[in-house]
Structure 1
């Protein structure tokens, strides 16, 4: 056992998690990751091909049957940014979470899986329709 009587720093094991600056930064970045993903979902809604129903076809209402080229690149950029931001949060959580009672962070794993699947699927869809 080492003698820490000369050490005058902060004892992180005794400080509450909410008081830790790094923990607060990780929380804020985690929320930002989800907001960027939400923005990507909104862009996806407007970029995807429109569903042309039988009624629309019967009445002669035109719809777009391909991806909107002007929105495809911003959609991919949002997803890549979300992937990078999620990776940064993973690194910061790994640095911060050392206690047994620290949370696992399943929402980040879920977000990471969603973003990777979305990137692969959209890339396949856009390259397949070109």
Structure 2
């Protein structure tokens, strides 16, 4: 059932724009976390690497993993604030339900749990 009444909203207000901006910032931080994770994670031991007897790093780089934790928790906090703002500002059935922000928060929490279990 769709709403048939008169639309009184002329434009998006400050809080809706803030929620959208926070969502964009959280996704950008997630992308930065992916880049930092690429450099902090152990290197993969491919067959060609073993063939040429190249040395492979098999441990996480601790300073980068500390930055990774900070970036991930900041992204989680920002996405949570965006969900709170969106919860109180989006009241109609046609408003955005912020599925991607919830998905981002779940991915970040799962990633932090993975890092806590696997980083020595």
- Shared fold, TM over 0.5: yes
Which of 93, 97, 103 lines up with 1:110 in the alignment?
Answer: 103
Structure 2 residue runs without a partner (length 5+): 1-6
* TM-score, scaled relative to structure 1: 0.82
Structure 1 residue runs without a partner (length 5+): 1-12
After superposing on structure 2, the runs of 4+ consecutive aligned residues of structure 1 that deviate more than 3 Å are none
Cα distance between partner residues in 2 of 1:80 and 1:100: 31
CA-based RMSD: 1.2
1:101, distance to aligned residue in structure 2 (A)? 1.3
Count of residues in correspondence between the two structures: 114
Q: Which moved more, 1:28-37 or 1:93-102?
A: 93-102
**Residue of structure 2 equivalent to 1:52:** 45
* Aligned residue runs from structure 1 range 75-90, under 5 A: 75-90=68-83
Asked if 1:14 is matched to 2:11, the reply is no
Q: Deviations over 1:14-68 (max 9, x none)?
A: 124x431111111111100100001001101111000011221221111111101
Which of 49, 64, 67 lines up with 1:71 in the alignment?
Answer: 64
- Between the two structures, name the one with larger relative contact order (CA 8 Å, sep ≥ 6): 2
* TM-score, scaled relative to structure 2: 0.89
**Residue of structure 2 equivalent to 1:23:** 16
